[in-house]
């Protein structure tokens, strides 16, 4: 039974990290209907900036996480300004391909730095001992990760629900023409959406980097790993990202906990999310919480 | 129609039939025939080496795959991020036979044209299956469904002992009329095989677009609800499109298996799928000749960058990183720049050049 | 200041040009070698220092005139871990007329096996996969295969464990590279090796191994032998350290001792896992720079000579690259000494004779390189290392894997 609870706890922890990584997709998609394939690279960039600031510059680690988030915020904002602003109104495949191109460019830029081919790990700044209770345990890194995740998701939900800027972002996602006519600057909203996505990517990068160590391959693979999460939750729902993240975390943990090693199966945790995704897509094409749009000719 | 079928400078069509001709003027046909002859004759005239023939063969295979991708993404407007997996299905059809029957089984070595066709059909079946969600899904969600197929395909190959867990499964040397095709003539031999298949498939696509189904594809891309209202079945059309794309990909996969004389998972990963998409875009989505320009351009670019990177590496040995960073950087930049400044791809340049000659001495 | 820099560039350029001409003017033969490996893409963290090792050593050979007036020209090309690209590179190298080929990944070595046979060219890959040697005559592994390493670790467990039959779990990469040795370890256990393989775990992209570790613990597993790359091992080690499962000494009762084969260890592991890497046991055939030895000094001097950073200089993959280049140079030297022409056939024959009195002892490995018609694994001796205070320290003396011959 303890084993079961441990799986649940690990699933929730992993799931909330997925949710934070997925948040970046949702933020961009929500306002500009773009799927950013380069998100994994942004996660890696955020982690690397934080490391460089902490270890090479010598800034305290909390502060450098914060600065890394701010820097990534401006980085993605300028990415949007340079590459994506021109493509407003182009067919969706062009925009997806631009993000794919962006992915390659970021890859190239990261290969220019030592991070491209070497491994690093963050200095430890949290207590080593895990928090254990009734046989299940969670590390401080994971706990802090979960707290940050929920804090950020809470903040973004409030932002979209209550703040003026957030409401204008929602308006843009609903109808670009109408929102322009009431004086919302659509390009600014897009820029802001990308910037906030960058911010969340940097946060996710910091957390994942602390758990796995800084290896470029591992980090940028997260961009792909969280696709099923994003789709399952519905591309435009923050709540969906959280719920789907935790569901996927649980599925993975249970798959590797109960399926692997039995019946000659192995590595099911990697593929099961995609199988479940395909099935869910057949029954609920817009994910669990996605908005079903009514199209007219 | 002007009386002169050699030098038409504008559209003088009086019937639909005239508009749909494959070659608009006799000049077009003549130039094309001349080009075909050149393509068939040049390896006999110039001295070739194995490496450059391998590169050329590889480009031709990519052209076949991109022809299929262009059908589904360019003409039907459905984004497929799993095209390499379909190519893989074709390759692994050949590999399965090799695995079950042994790599020099007569079916593989003598009846290889049949094997290639069979691989295409298997690819078509898988394509149609993955296309099934198209009945309900659209846009990004459909793209993600193809991505899922890509991931599941990779996992299956990597996991199953039958597929040698993604490691190379060998395919024996094939036989032709005059005996076994040896190492020295291998690449030239496959050059001709692939070329003939490519020309056939190229004409097939050209003709396909003249049919009711071809027009359906474009109608569904432009507005599937309107198409529905006009009596077409968008869902079925999409599934057909996926099936056809799978067929092309399957054939490309089988050719890949024979050319490399082995099948391994590395050639059918997500990264390859993305490269195929990039080829289709750089060439020009929704155009027939774009499917030829794109693969050639991307593969040539890769080779050139490799050369430059090597020189850069020689110049600055201590900082190898610059050399290795060049490839993803240029690949990314080319995609982004094309999308930003020439979204219609190289095919558009071709169109401009053609009309320049057509309209000369008047300005374009 | 600015002017100085402006001046500097043309001077440097002309200097390079002069050097270039000088090099061309030299008499003597040029032996063409080639290496295709993953400098970008998967496993580039290993491929990068490996390439540097090969490059630096051949430059060293040419600069110090180790082969007299003759020179070695080794083209190094990136294949991004893709067999297609490796094949293209290989065909290109053949057109250039190489006499010996250095390869890298398991996938491409297996995939090009038949081409090596047909071309009759000796190949030294960086992959130590035992499957490379099946149905092939021309592939020479630099050191003991992964199977040999893994079984060697299992033997060490069997010999040094106190108490009942030790329970072992294998933690492997989800590919043929990881799965290769699994079967061999199980065969060895059947052949009488005193261990019990409780579970084989294939890892994915895991963020949390708590459940897996708890499961192994509840099954009474005391040793985990990993055959994968560093990153997943680091995640597992961190989780184990957090749970307090890591053994402080070898085989500590009630704890788990973590061990791994060549590509799981090295400074990259310590960089990734930090303090959690303490007491990780690792086996390889290379000497490390964390231990003082003639080979380590020579390696550091070589890195300093060609301006490599500290990280590359101390990487065991840099050693790996140097060693492969040393073997290649040695064969060429031996063929030359006999007054034979250096070509594919003579090099291949000479490699096959590298045993007995003619065994080659490079300063970078813990044992001699021996090849024969039947034995294509180079250095057979293995050295166990243990992480102690953030560096790898050797444990005991080099040993031989016994059971590899019995299976």
Judged by CB atoms closer than 8 Å, whether chains meet at A257 and C268 is answered as: no
In a domain, residue C15? The reply is: no
Judged by CB atoms closer than 8 Å, whether chains meet at A108 and B223 is answered as: no
Closest partner CB to A17 (pick from C207, C211, C273): C207
pLDDT band at C2 (very low <50, low <70, confident <90, very high): very low
Residues C216, C154 within the same domain = yes
Q: Mean per-residue pLDDT for C336-342? A: 88
Closest partner CB to C107 (pick from B54, B264, B320): B264
Q: Mean per-residue pLDDT for A125-141? A: 76
Q: Is B312 on the interface with A (CB under 8 A)?
A: no
In a domain, residue C334? The reply is: yes
Q: Mean per-residue pLDDT for C298-320? A: 89
Q: Mean per-residue pLDDT for C316-323? A: 92
Chains within contact range of chain C (3+ C-beta pairs < 8 Å): A, B
Q: Read off the pLDDT of residues C120-174 as tens digits, 9 standing for 90 and up.
A: 999 999 888 888 888 888 999 998 889 999 999 999 999 888 888 899 999 988 7
Judged by CB atoms closer than 8 Å, whether chains meet at C175 and B267 is answered as: no
pLDDT reported for residue B50:
84
Domain assignments of chain A as residue spans, ordered by start: 2-123+152-283
Q: Please answer whether residues B243 and B68 qualify as being in contact, where contact means their C-beta atoms are separated by less than 8 angstroms.
A: no
Closest partner CB to C242 (pick from A117, A130, A208): A130
Q: Which helix (H) or strand (E) holds B169?
A: strand B169-170
In a domain, residue C80? The reply is: yes
Under 8 Å CB-to-CB from B253, ≥6 apart: which residues? B65, B86, B87, B88, B89, B90, B91, B92, B93, B94, B119, B123, B268
Best of A116, A117, A120 to disrupt the C interface (most C CBs within 10 Å) is A117
Chain C CB contacts of B262 under 8 Å are 83, 111, 114
Query: What's the whole-number average pLDDT of chain B?
Result: 86
Instruction: Give the range of the structural domain holding residue C357, as residue numbers without chain letter.
Output: 27-144+292-375
Q: Is C398 on the interface with A (CB under 8 A)?
A: no
Q: Is B318 on the interface with C (CB under 8 A)?
A: yes
| Burial category of B208 from C-beta neighbours within 10 Å (exposed 0-12, middle 13-18, buried 19 and up) | middle
Judged by CB atoms closer than 8 Å, whether chains meet at C78 and B170 is answered as: no
Q: Read off the pLDDT of residues B203-233 as tens digits, 9 standing for 90 and up.
A: 999 999 888 888 888 898 888 888 888 888 8
Residues C103, C228 within the same domain = no
For residues C91, C95, C97, C103, the Cα torsion angle rounded to the nearest 10 degrees is -20
Judged by CB atoms closer than 8 Å, whether chains meet at B318 and C307 is answered as: yes
Best of A29, A85, A100 to disrupt the B interface (most B CBs within 10 Å) is A100
Q: Mean per-residue pLDDT for A108-125? A: 80
Please name the residue of chain B whose CA is at the shortest distance from the CA of residue A33.
B140
Residues C277, C316 within the same domain = no
pLDDT band at A279 (very low <50, low <70, confident <90, very high): confident
Mark out the alpha helices in chain B (DSSP H runs): 16-19, 26-45, 50-69, 83-101, 106-109, 112-131, 139-159, 183-208, 212-222, 224-229, 234-260, 270-283, 290-315, 320-341, 346-359
Residues C348, C258 within the same domain = no
Q: Is C207 on the interface with A (CB under 8 A)?
A: yes
Domain assignments of chain B as residue spans, ordered by start: 49-286
pLDDT band at B1 (very low <50, low <70, confident <90, very high): very low
Q: Mean per-residue pLDDT for C1-23? A: 52
pLDDT reported for residue C153:
92
Residues C248, C313 within the same domain = no
Residues C154, C223 within the same domain = yes
In a domain, residue C309? The reply is: yes
Judged by CB atoms closer than 8 Å, whether chains meet at C91 and B310 is answered as: no
- What's this model's pTM, rounded to 2 decimal places? 0.86
CB contacts under 8 A, A 238-277 vs B, are 266-267, 270-271, 274-275, 277
Distance CA A204, CA A222 (A): 10
Among the listed ranges A210-219, B349-358, C122-131, C193-202, which one has the minimum average pLDDT value?
A: A210-219
Q: Read off the pLDDT of residues C246-265 as tens digits, 9 standing for 90 and up.
A: 888 888 888 899 999 998 98
Residues C178, C188 within the same domain = yes
Q: Please answer whether residues A267 and B154 qualify as being in contact, where contact means their C-beta atoms are separated by less than 8 angstroms.
A: no
Closest partner CB to A101 (pick from B79, B137, B335): B335
Closest partner CB to B266 (pick from C52, C78, C107): C107
Q: Is A262 on the interface with C (CB under 8 A)?
A: no
CB contacts under 8 A, B 244-303 vs C, are 260-262, 264, 266-267
Among the listed ranges A257-261, B49-53, B166-170, which one has the minimum average pLDDT value?
A: A257-261
Judged by CB atoms closer than 8 Å, whether chains meet at B55 and C118 is answered as: no
Q: Mean per-residue pLDDT for C200-210? A: 77
Q: How many structural domains does chain C have? A: 2
CATH code, C184: 3.40.50.2300
In a domain, residue C368? The reply is: yes
Judged by CB atoms closer than 8 Å, whether chains meet at A117 and C48 is answered as: yes
pLDDT reported for residue C19:
53
pLDDT above 70 for B163: yes
Chain A CB contacts of C218 under 8 Å are 3
Query: Domain A2-123+152-283 falls in which CATH fold?
Result: ABC transporter involved in vitamin B12 uptake, BtuC (1.10.3470)
pLDDT above 90 for C216: no
Share of chain B above pLDDT 90, in %: 33
Chain A CB contacts of B327 under 8 Å are 108
For B70, the 3-state DSSP assignment is: helix
Residues C60, C95 within the same domain = yes
Closest residue by Cα to residue B309 from B325, B296, B288: B325
For B313, the 3-state DSSP assignment is: helix
pLDDT reported for residue C1:
41
pLDDT above 60 for C22: no
Distance CA C319, CA C347 (A): 23
Distance CA A236, CA A230 (A): 9
Q: Read off the pLDDT of residues B65-96 as tens digits, 9 standing for 90 and up.
A: 999 999 999 898 888 889 999 999 999 999 99
Judged by CB atoms closer than 8 Å, whether chains meet at C307 and B183 is answered as: no
Distances (CA, A) of A267 to A19, A253, B43, B75: 22, 11, 48, 38
């Amino acid at each position: 039974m303890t084993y079961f609870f441990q799986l649940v706890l690990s699933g929730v922890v992993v799931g909330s990290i997925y949710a934070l990584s997925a948040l970046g997709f949702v933020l961009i998609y929500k306002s500009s209907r773009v799927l950013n394939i380069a998100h994994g690279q942004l996660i890696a960039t955020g982690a690397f900036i934080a490391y460089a600031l902490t270890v090479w510059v010598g800034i305290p680690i909390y502060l450098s996480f914060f600065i890394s988030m701010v820097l990534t915020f401006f980085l993605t904002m300028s990415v949007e300004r340079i590459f994506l602003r021109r493509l407003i109104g182009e067919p969706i495949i062009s925009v997806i391909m631009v993000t794919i191109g962006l992915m390659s460019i970021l890859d190239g830029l990261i290969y220019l730095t030592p991070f491209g081919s070497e491994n690093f790990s963050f200095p430890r700044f949290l207590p080593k001992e895990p928090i254990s209770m009734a046989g299940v345990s969670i590390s401080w890194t994971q706990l802090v990760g979960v707290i940050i995740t929920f804090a950020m998701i809470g903040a973004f939900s409030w932002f979209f629900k209550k703040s003026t800027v957030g409401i204008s972002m929602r308006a843009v996602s609903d109808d670009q023409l109408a929102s322009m006519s009431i004086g919302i600057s659509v390009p600014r909203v897009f820029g802001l959406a990308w910037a906030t996505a960058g911010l969340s990517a940097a946060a996710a990068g910091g957390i994942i980097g602390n758990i796995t160590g800084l290896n470029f391959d591992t980090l940028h693979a997260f961009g792909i790993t969280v696709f099923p999460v994003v789709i399952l939750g519905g591309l435009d729902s923050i709540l969906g990202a959280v719920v789907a993240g935790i569901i996927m975390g649980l599925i993975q943990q249970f798959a590797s906990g109960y399926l692997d090693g039995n019946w000659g199966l192995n590595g099911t945790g990697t593929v099961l999310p995609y199988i479940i995704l395909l099935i869910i897509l057949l029954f609920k094409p817009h994910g669990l919480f996605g908005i079903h749009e009514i199209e007219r000719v | 129609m002007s009386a002169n079928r050699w030098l038409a400078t504008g559209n003088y069509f009086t019937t639909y039939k005239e508009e749909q001709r494959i070659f608009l003027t006799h000049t077009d046909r003549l130039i094309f025939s001349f080009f075909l002859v050149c393509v068939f004759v040049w390896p006999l005239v110039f001295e070739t080496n194995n490496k450059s023939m391998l590169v050329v063969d590889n480009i031709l295979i990519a052209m076949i795959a991109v022809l299929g991708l262009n059908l589904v993404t360019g003409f039907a407007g459905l984004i497929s991020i799993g095209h390499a997996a379909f190519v893989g299905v074709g390759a692994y059809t050949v590999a399965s036979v090799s695995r079950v029957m042994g790599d020099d089984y007569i079916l593989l070595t003598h009846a290889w044209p049949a094997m290639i066709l069979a691989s295409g059909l298997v690819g078509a079946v898988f394509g149609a299956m993955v296309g099934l969600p198209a009945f309900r899904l659209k846009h990004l969600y459909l793209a993600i469904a193809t991505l899922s197929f890509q991931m599941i395909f990779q996992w299956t190959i990597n996991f199953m002992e039958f597929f040698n867990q993604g490691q190379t499964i060998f395919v024996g040397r094939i036989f032709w009329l005059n005996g076994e095709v040896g190492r020295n003539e291998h690449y030239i031999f496959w050059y001709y095989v692939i070329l003939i298949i490519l020309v056939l498939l190229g004409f097939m696509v050209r003709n396909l677009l003249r049919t009711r189904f071809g027009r359906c594809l474009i109608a569904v891309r432009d507005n599937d609800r309107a198409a529905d209202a006009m009596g077409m079945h968008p869902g079925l059309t999409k599934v057909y499109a996926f099936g056809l794309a799978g067929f092309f990909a399957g054939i490309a996969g089988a050719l890949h298996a024979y050319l490399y004389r082995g099948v391994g998972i590395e050639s059918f990963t997500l990264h390859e799928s993305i490269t195929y998409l990039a080829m289709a875009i750089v060439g020009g989505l929704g155009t027939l000749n774009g499917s030829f320009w794109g693969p050639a351009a991307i593969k040539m670019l890769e080779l050139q960058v490799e050369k430059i990177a090597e020189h850069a590496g020689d110049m600055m040995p201590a900082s190898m990183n610059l050399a290795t960073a060049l490839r993803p950087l240029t690949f990314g930049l080319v995609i982004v720049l094309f999308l930003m400044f020439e979204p219609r791809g190289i095919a558009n340049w071709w169109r401009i050049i053609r009309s320049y000659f057509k309209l000369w001495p008047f300005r374009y | 200041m600015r002017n100085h820099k402006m001046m500097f560039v043309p001077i440097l350029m002309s200097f390079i040009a002069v050097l270039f001409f000088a090099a061309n003017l030299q008499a003597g033969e040029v032996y063409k070698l080639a290496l295709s490996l993953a400098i970008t893409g998967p496993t580039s963290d290993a491929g990068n220092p490996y390439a540097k090792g090969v490059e630096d050593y051949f430059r060293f050979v040419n600069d110090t005139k180790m082969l007299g007036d003759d020179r070695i020209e080794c083209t190094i090309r990136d294949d991004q871990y893709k067999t297609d690209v490796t094949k293209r590179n290989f065909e290109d190298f053949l057109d250039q007329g190489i006499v010996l080929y250095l390869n890298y990944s398991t996938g491409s070595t297996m995939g090009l096996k038949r081409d090596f046979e047909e071309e009759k060219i000796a190949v030294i890959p960086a992959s130590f996969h035992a499957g490379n040697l099946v149905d092939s005559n021309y592939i020479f592994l630099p050191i003991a295969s992964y199977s040999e390493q893994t079984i060697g670790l299992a033997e060490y467990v069997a010999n040094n464990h106190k108490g009942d039959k030790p329970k072992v779990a294998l933690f492997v990469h989800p590919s043929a590279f990881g799965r290769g040795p699994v079967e061999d370890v199980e065969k060895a256990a059947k052949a009488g090796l005193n261990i019990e393989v409780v579970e084989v775990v294939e890892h994915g992209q895991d963020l949390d191994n708590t459940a897996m570790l708890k499961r192994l613990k509840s099954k009474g597993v005391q040793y985990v032998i990993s055959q994968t790359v560093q990153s997943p091992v680091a995640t597992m080690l961190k989780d184990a350290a957090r749970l307090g499962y890591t053994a402080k000494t070898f085989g500590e009762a009630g704890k788990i001792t973590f061990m791994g084969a060549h590509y799981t260890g090295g400074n990259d592991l310590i960089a990734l896992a930090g303090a959690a890497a303490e007491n990780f046991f690792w086996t390889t055939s290379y000497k490390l720079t964390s231990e003082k030895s003639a080979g380590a000094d020579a390696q550091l001097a070589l890195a300093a000579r060609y301006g490599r950073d500290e990280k590359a200089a101390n990487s065991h993959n840099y050693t790996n690259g140097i060693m492969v280049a040393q073997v290649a140079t040695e064969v060429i030297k031996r063929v030359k000494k006999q007054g034979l022409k250096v070509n594919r056939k003579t090099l291949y024959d000479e490699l096959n004779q590298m045993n007995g009195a003619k065994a080659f002892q490079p300063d970078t490995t813990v044992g001699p390189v021996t090849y024969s018609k039947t034995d294509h694994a180079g250095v057979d001796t293995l050295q166990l290392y243990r992480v102690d205070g953030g560096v790898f320290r050797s444990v005991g003396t080099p040993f031989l894997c016994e059971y590899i011959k019995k299976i």
